[in-house]
Structures are given as structure tokens and as C-alpha cells.
């Protein structure tokens, strides 16, 4: 018996307990359509063990070998399951609130979408720079990527869609009982508001929907119409509606430099939408 305990002790020394972020694990498994049985089969782990970790919340512990196997099965770095902070690329020019910081699941989904968008813009910029005739000035990829991320960020905000689609009575906004929780204004700040399952699902739904819409562009199977993205988030207020534009709608520069040399913004028609 003593020898058996020593062998087991050495085994655990070689396979120590490590942190496991159950919410990230659950989000990744759901994203890939893997239940406990399928994930256990791919990871070559006991189904009961995997099912347990897919049911509980928060950051717990598991053996190092289990976390490594789960990460490999989900095709992500081992560290993504470790409970470390999930990085959100900085979004200059964007205004809060940052609803996607509501939970670790929403933060993970937003982080993955934003990273994909940045990489896709950078590839478009390199391609356009290579074929440019230098007739018009071109901006660095980081500036264009930041602007595109800002525009995409507008599309994944529950509050922004409500602001655009609804008109509230003066006191209704503060009084309504079904409001989403308060949101976070600073990208690096963790959410301190109570968890709201419906709000989380709404945020995840917007992120997943926009990611699905953009997937052909992200996978280099289609071009993104930057002009339409810009107008979708800025209309009807921007001053250059109808102006002659310098860049192709598929050129990232059209997201921030719409005017052709010598063109002037077209003033809105009298009595038109402001």
C-alpha cells in the first residue's frame, strides 16, 4: 500500500494541478459544437471528467495533462484555458460602453473577432499598397485597422442598436425593468455588474452573427466593402454623402479618406435627415 501511494505521488508530481477556466472551456466547446461525449472522445479523456468541467463555473483546477488534452482537442493554446486575462486589442477612437466585457465568454468572443478583423485589414492594406499607383496618399495599416475595428465594434453593441431603433419616453430609459446591466467604459476594466444571462446571450449573438457575416472576408474568399461598412455605422449624419470619393470601396483607405482631390462634401438637402 505504501509503495502504491509513493507511485501515485510521483505521478501527480509529474502531472500537477493547474488552473482551468471553465467558462472559456464551455465557450470553445459550444463554438465547435462539441458536447461532453464528443469532446472526451477527441481529447481521449474520461467522459465523466469532461462533463464535470463543462458544467461548473468559474476558474477551478485540473491536472496539467487534462488541460493540455482539452486545449489540443479544441485547437487552442493551452494558456487560453488557464484563466489568464483575455486580451482585447485597444480600440482607439471608439467610445464606450464596452458591453463585450460583461463576462469572460463575451470577452473571449470579442477578442477572437477583433483579432480576425485586424489581420484581415492588414492583409488588404498590404495588397492595396503593392498595387497602388501612388496617386493618393495611403495611411498605415494600424490606423486603418483601428478604424475598421471601431466600426465593427459599433455593430456588436446591444445599447447602440437600441439607441438607433427605439425612442424612449423621458423617464422610461431609467425605469424599465428589462434593461441590460450597466456597461464598462474602459477597455481594460473588468465588469463589476451582476451577471445577466439574457444580456450575455444577446452580446454573444451579435458577435457570432457579425463574425459569420464577415467570415468569407476573414478567410480571404471575398472582399470587404469598406465604404458600406463606414456608411452603415455613420449614416445618416456624415457630411460626405454623395461626394466623389478617391478610393475603391474595397480599399481600406475608403474607411477614413472618402474625398477625391478637389471634391467637396455635399450638404444635406433642405428638410432632409440630419
| pLDDT for position 269 | 56
Q: Which segments in the chain show pLDDT lower than 50?
A: 7, 93-94, 177-178, 272-274
pTM for this entry: 0.70
Question: Could you tell me which residues are beta bridge partners of residue 184?
Answer: 98
| pLDDT for position 57 | 85
List the chain domain ranges: 2-81, 99-255
Asked if residues 58 and 51 have their Cβ atoms less than 8 Å apart, the reply is no
| pLDDT for position 241 | 66
Architecture of domain 2-81: Orthogonal Bundle (1.10)
Q: Which cell is 204 given? A: 454573444
| pLDDT for position 274 | 40
| pLDDT for position 218 | 95
| pLDDT for position 143 | 85
| pLDDT for position 179 | 53
| pLDDT for position 166 | 79
| pLDDT for position 58 | 85
Q: SS3 string of 37-105?
A: HHHHHHHCCCHHHHHHHHHCCCEEEEEHHHHHHHHHHHCCCHHHHCCCCCCCCCCCCCCCCEHHHCCHH
Amino acid at each position: 500500500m505504501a509503495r502504491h501511494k509513493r507511485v501515485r505521488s510521483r505521478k501527480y508530481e509529474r502531472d500537477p494541478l493547474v488552473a482551468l477556466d471553465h467558462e472559456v472551456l464551455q465557450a470553445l466547446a459550444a463554438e465547435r459544437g462539441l458536447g461532453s461525449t464528443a469532446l472526451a472522445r477527441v481529447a481521449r479523456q474520461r467522459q465523466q471528467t469532461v462533463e464535470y468541467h463543462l458544467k461548473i463555473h468559474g476558474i477551478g483546477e485540473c491536472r496539467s495533462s487534462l488541460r493540455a488534452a482539452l486545449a489540443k482537442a479544441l485547437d487552442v493554446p493551452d494558456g487560453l484555458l488557464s484563466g489568464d486575462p483575455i486580451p482585447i486589442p485597444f480600440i482607439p477612437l471608439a467610445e464606450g460602453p464596452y458591453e463585450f466585457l460583461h463576462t469572460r465568454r463575451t470577452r473571449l468572443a470579442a477578442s477572437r473577432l477583433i483579432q480576425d478583423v485586424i489581420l484581415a485589414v492588414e492583409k488588404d492594406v498590404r495588397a492595396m499598397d503593392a498595387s497602388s499607383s501612388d496617386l493618393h496618399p495611403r495611411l498605415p495599416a494600424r490606423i486603418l485597422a483601428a478604424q475598421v475595428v471601431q466600426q465593427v465594434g459599433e455593430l456588436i453593441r446591444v445599447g447602440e442598436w437600441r439607441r438607433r431603433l427605439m425612442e424612449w419616453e423621458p423617464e422610461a430609459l431609467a425605469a424599465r425593468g428589462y434593461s441590460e446591466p450597466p456597461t464598462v467604459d474602459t477597455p481594460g476594466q473588468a465588469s463589476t455588474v451582476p451577471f445577466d444571462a439574457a444580456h450575455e446571450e444577446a452580446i454573444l449573438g451579435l458577435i457570432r452573427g457579425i463574425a459569420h457575416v464577415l467570415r468569407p472576408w476573414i478567410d480571404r474568399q471575398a472582399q470587404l466593402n469598406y465604404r458600406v461598412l463606414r456608411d452603415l455605422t455613420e449614416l445618416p449624419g456624415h457630411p460626405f454623402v454623395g461626394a466623389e470619393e478617391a478610393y475603391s470601396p474595397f480599399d481600406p483607405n475608403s474607411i477614413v479618406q472618402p474625398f477625391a482631390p478637389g471634391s467637396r462634401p455635399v450638404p444635406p438637402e433642405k428638410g432632409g435627415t440630419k
